[in-house]
Amino acid sequence: MSKPITVDDANFDQTVLQAEALVLVDFWAPWCRPCLMLAPILDELAEDYSGKITFTRLDVDQNPKTASRYQIMSIPTLLLFKKGEPVSHIVGYKPKAELKRDLDTAST
Amino acid sequence: MNKEYEVVIIGGGPAGLSAGLYTSRARLSSLLIERGLVGGQIVNAELVENYPGFPEGISGLELTQLMHQQATKYGLETLLAETTGIELKEGQKVVKTTEANFIAKAVIIAGGSERAKLGIPGEKEFTGKGVSYCATCDAAFFKGEPIAVVGGGDAAITEARHLTRFASKVIVIHRRHQLRTSRILQEKAFAEPKIEFLWNTIVEEIKGEEVVQQLSLRNVITGEKFTLDVAGIFMSIGFKPNTAYLKGVLPLDAAGYITTNEKMGTEIPGIFAAGDIRYNSAQQAVTAAGDGVTAAIYAEIFIR
Ligand SMILES: Cc1cc2nc3c(=O)[nH]c(=O)nc-3n(C[C@H](O)[C@H](O)[C@H](O)COP(=O)(O)OP(=O)(O)OC[C@H]3O[C@@H](n4cnc5c(N)ncnc54)[C@H](O)[C@@H]3O)c2cc1C
């Protein structure tokens, strides 16, 4: 069972930036409906990409430092990190099939 | 083997959910296919104040969850998948999705619409960097900053009012000289000191370094060009019907909408359309629900 793990301003460097594997960060907030729509899809994708991509989520409301460091101005935003650098940037709600396409292109 | 249903409904907004309630209660085996979250666009409305029966208002998410619960109670099945086509084969209708294909006696298309894009320079580049299509999502990123809203309909004005809670100033940019909204909304918007209006004005370009900083504008009457400094621009310029996969299956109008008769029937017998996806729909949750019910009733007559 792979489920997205919650990250915050305090552990972001360690969990996301210093990770060996690819890490996807879901920037979200509880008031954002498309974020809530995306959450169950990311739960499923975390399962599908288990061992390949680590799925994490960061509440922008609670963690303004990380959100502003990556200039997040629209949520949901998904950033895919490879060795500490964002390599892919997905803005807004997308259906599962489309996200899979994006992740496959970014992770190969 | 493709699974068979008597009715396949495409789209889980108010139109599709209401259709599903009626086809299920008619004891027709019914499948609803939804590519996103069941509920449709109205889940973005924090408070729906004009759906009859809820005098205190109700959130769009809650309203449609109740609709789904009610339809499911009578046997409606739901599949989360995207519909990619409809094929007509020997009197049968094959509905293709990203998960599986289904055979249906009748199909109700209730795919609604989504936010239209302006298609101007800077729009794509700055999406997520100051260009937004969802005010409730992104308002909080613009605390104390001036922002623009493009559009003059109900959604634009509702969003402008929401944005005043965060922004220093909200400038509504509208290409006409008056709003296209209900009177009660107009009165509220005109009374709000933080909202300003730029009439007869269109946005030609969005500029900035890394993030949005400035808009190039043009007055469509005088032709005068000018600029406006903003930190964000919220697009609320109308909608585009979700009919791309129907080209070649059904006749669509120039904007992509489906034309129906008063029974919600399309040019193909047994294929119905309901809600915002229809040409000249009133684009309200309650009218979409009504369309769905009409389609369901005539689908039953078509099948039996
Ligand atoms: C911010 C906002 C506020 C609003 N406020 C109000 C209000 O206060 N009162 C009111 O009456 N109306 C309001 N509306 C309008 C209302 O939401 C719409 O009129 C109504 O939702 C239309 O219903 P529908 O079922 O036709 O389509 P939609 O609600 O658009 O639902 C269509 C569904 O079909 C799905 N779909 C589309 N294509 C496919 C496909 N190929 N495969 C599978 N699924 C597909 C979509 O994901 C969507 O869930 C508001 C709209 C917005 C955006």
Instruction: Give the residues surrounding ligand 1 with Cβ less than 6 Å away.
Output: B 10-16, 33-36, 40-42, 44-45, 48, 50, 82-83, 110-113, 155, 242, 245, 275-277, 283-286, 288
pTM exceeds 0.90: no
| pLDDT tens column, B43-92 | 878 788 899 999 999 999 899 999 999 999 999 999 988 999 999 988 78
Give the residue from chain B lying closest to A71, CA to CA: B129
The mean pLDDT value for B92-104 works out to: 95
CA gap B55, B50 in Å, rounded: 8
B131-235 — its CATH code? 3.50.50.60
Query: Looking at residue A31, what is its pLDDT?
Result: 85
The per-residue pLDDT string of chain A (108 residues; one tens digit each, 9 = 90 and over) reads: 688 999 999 999 999 999 999 999 999 999 888 898 889 899 999 999 999 999 999 999 999 999 999 999 999 999 999 999 999 999 998 888 889 989 998 877
B141 neighbourhood in chain A, CB within 8 Å: 72-74
Active site residue A35: yes
Query: Looking at residue B1, what is its pLDDT?
Result: 65
The interface predicted TM-score (ipTM) is 0.84
Q: Do domains B3-115+239-303 and B131-235 have the same CATH topology?
A: yes
User: How many other CB atoms are there within 10 angstroms of residue B206's CB atom?
Assistant: 25
Instruction: Say if residue B216's pLDDT is above 70.
Output: yes
Q: For chain B, which residues make up each domain, given as ranges?
A: 3-115+239-303, 131-235
Q: For chain A, which residues make up each domain, given as ranges?
A: 5-106
CA gap B7, A104 in Å, rounded: 35
The fourth-level CATH superfamily of domain A5-106 is: Glutaredoxin (3.40.30.10)
Instruction: Say if residue B231's pLDDT is above 90.
Output: yes
Is there a contact between B107 and B271 (Cβ–Cβ < 8 Å)?
yes
CA gap B277, B240 in Å, rounded: 9
Query: Looking at residue A28, what is its pLDDT?
Result: 96
CA gap A39, A35 in Å, rounded: 6
Q: Hey, which residues 75-134 in chain B have their CB within 8 Å of chain A?
A: 80, 82, 98, 127-134
Place B303 in a pLDDT band, splitting at 50, 70 and 90. very high
| pLDDT tens column, B167-210 | 999 999 999 999 998 899 999 999 999 999 999 999 999 999 99
Topology of domain B3-115+239-303 in CATH is FAD/NAD(P)-binding domain (3.50.50)
